[in-house]
């Protein structure tokens, strides 16, 4: 069993919060600067953050439950992070599929990328 300071599930909350509040908005800004078709303007970033936090609550809850379950059974930090990332990314695509819209694929990719980047920042600890 892995000895883990963040085994309480703080890892999932760190991943969730930082990917939605910090990393995804930075990616949106960069994409907007590089591609005028996706230039949404800085004024919509707070809306993306707010809606991202609210619409991701079901996925956060399930991710937390899955993390608690898997962390008791998986000793490899890499495998555990990979499985949690996979679940979260699938949840992101499902959420945007339900919501729909012309930007659903791009938003799914941005939020998925932000989850992967956030998971590289935060260790599970040992």
The count of residues in the chain is: 126
> Are the beta carbons of 112 and 92 closer than 8 angstroms?
yes
pLDDT in tens, 23-37: 988 888 888 888 877
pLDDT at 53: 87
**In whole angstroms, what is the distance from residue 80 CA to residue 93 CA?**
20
pTM of the complete model beyond 0.75: yes
**In whole angstroms, what is the distance from residue 11 CA to residue 60 CA?**
11
pLDDT at 10: 85
Residue 1 pLDDT > 70: no
> Are the beta carbons of 77 and 126 closer than 8 angstroms?
yes
Residue 11 pLDDT > 80: yes
Domain ranges of the chain: 10-121
Could you give phi then psi for residue 5, rounded to 5 degrees? -65, -30
């Amino acid at each position: 069993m892995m000895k883990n300071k963040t085994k309480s599930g703080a890892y999932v909350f760190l991943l969730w919060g930082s990917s939605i509040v910090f990393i995804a908005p930075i990616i949106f800004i960069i994409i907007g600067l590089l591609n005028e078709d996706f230039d949404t303007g800085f004024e919509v970033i707070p809306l993306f953050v707010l809606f991202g936090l609210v619409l991701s609550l079901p996925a956060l809850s399930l991710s937390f439950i899955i993390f608690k379950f898997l962390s008791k059974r998986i000793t490899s930090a890499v495998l555990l992070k990979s499985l949690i990332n996979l679940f979260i990314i699938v949840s992101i695509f499902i959420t945007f599929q339900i919501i729909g819209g012309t930007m659903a694929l791009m938003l799914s990719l941005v939020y998925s990328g932000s989850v992967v980047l956030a998971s590289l920042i935060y260790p599970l600890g040992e």
